Amino acid sequence: MNHFVHKRGRQVKYAFKSFKDYWLTDASFAVLLLILLFTVFVLPILIEYGHVHALFVNTVFLFLFFTGIWSSRNRFLVVLTTVLFVTQLGLRILRFSNYDFEFYLAERIVGILNMMVFIYLNIRLLFRNYEVNIYRVIGAVNVYLLVAILGAFVFEIIYLTTGSGIGGDVVLEGIDKDFALYIYFSLVSLTTVGFGDLYPIQVMSKMLSVFLSTIGILYPAVVIARLVSAGKN
């Protein structure tokens, strides 16, 4: 019996170590890209047509934040991402419980902090070892999509705290379903497309739109220059 328990413990420990090591490799960029493509381009469609429950939407974001825990060997960053993930998880559990207190705003604030740290971790992974390969290019795309999600979260915070933010032929409800609109407008701002069907209607959302547009212009140039210079070393 003790031998079986010991063997099982070693298997769990090995699986845990393999999972942790994988998220520090370049190959993890490809998996993260698939998750982000689903989150940014497929999930909003499913939300809009009512094919997914709010619990599923929250699970997708929680998984993203969970992978952030394993994206660094730095003890401080591991502790920070763990605390943020646990806090996020606790707030979401409370929101779906029978408590009357509204935790949605607190969730989104912690979510923004989580996403900022996650972007920082992916930038660290992107430029480590001064190597250039297809995975690093994928990693650069990942950071771009993560910035779009961060922008969507901030647009939502603006609406939740001020009661306005995005205008046009839209009805914001202040719930998870709004993510479809926020991520669309965040991407439109980030890519500087500006279709005009949605537009910022107050100063904070206007400045955020301009900030995302600036990032959308400068980020590719900076990343390409950095990767090219790294490839020459």
Confidence at residue 220, expressed as pLDDT on a 0 to 100 scale:
87
Confidence at residue 7, expressed as pLDDT on a 0 to 100 scale:
65
Helix H or strand E encompassing 84: helix 75-95
| pTM across the whole model | 0.90
Handedness of CA 180, 139, 118, 92 (dihedral sign): positive
Instruction: Look at residues 88, 227, 215, 206 and name the one whose alpha carbon lies nearest to residue 145.
Output: 215
Confidence at residue 35, expressed as pLDDT on a 0 to 100 scale:
93
**pLDDT confidence of 233, banded at 50, 70, 90?**
low
Helix H or strand E encompassing 66: helix 54-69
CB count within 10 Å of CB 198 equals 19
d(CA 78, CA 181): 32
What tokens does 92 get? 């979401």
Q: Which residues contact 222 (CB under 8 A, 6 or more apart)?
A: none
Please check whether residue 201 is in contact with residue 190, taking contact to mean a CB–CB distance below 8 angstroms.
Answer: no
Confidence at residue 9, expressed as pLDDT on a 0 to 100 scale:
65
pLDDT in tens, 78-130: 999 999 999 999 988 888 776 655 678 888 899 999 999 999 998 888 877 76
3-state helix, strand, coil in the chain (%, to 5): 75, 5, 20
Write the burial class of residue 209 (CB in 10 Å: 0-12 exposed, 13-18 middle, 19+ buried).
Answer: buried
